[in-house]
Amino acid sequence: MKETVIVIGYETSYLEYKIKSLGYNVFPISYFSKKNLWKNLNITNLEKISRDLKKSSKKISIIYGSGLENRPGKILIFRKKLHQ
């Protein structure tokens, strides 16, 4: 099992490319790659993502990019769910 890095940001393509080149799996949540998830980032979606990724990853890390400035609660919820 590989480690997975969740990249959350408005535009994540550069970070995705760099992280993949280091050998990690990448799960992007961005305006462009997962527009509906980006718009509806809520506790239910975060729990599902967390459960799904834990099944296939030995470790999960998160990188926060731009676009979450007005969503501090989302970051805290996501961090908490991943470490349960």
Q: What is the pLDDT along the chain (84 residues), one digit of tens a residue?
A: 889 988 888 888 888 899 999 999 998 888 777 666 767 777 777 778 878 888 989 888 888 776 666 666 666 666 666 565
Full strand arrangement of the beta sheet holding 25-29: 25-29, 4-8, 60-64
Taking the model in full, what pTM does it have?
0.73
Compute the C-alpha angle 6/37/33, nearest 5°.
65
Strand ranges (E), the chain: 4-8, 25-29, 60-64
Local structure of 54: helix, strand or coil: helix
Range of 21's domain? 4-82
Is the separation of the CB atoms in 81 and 46 below 8 Å? Answer: yes
**CA separation for the pair 31, 24 (Å, rounded):** 21
**CA separation for the pair 67, 38 (Å, rounded):** 10
**Number of domain units in the chain:** 1
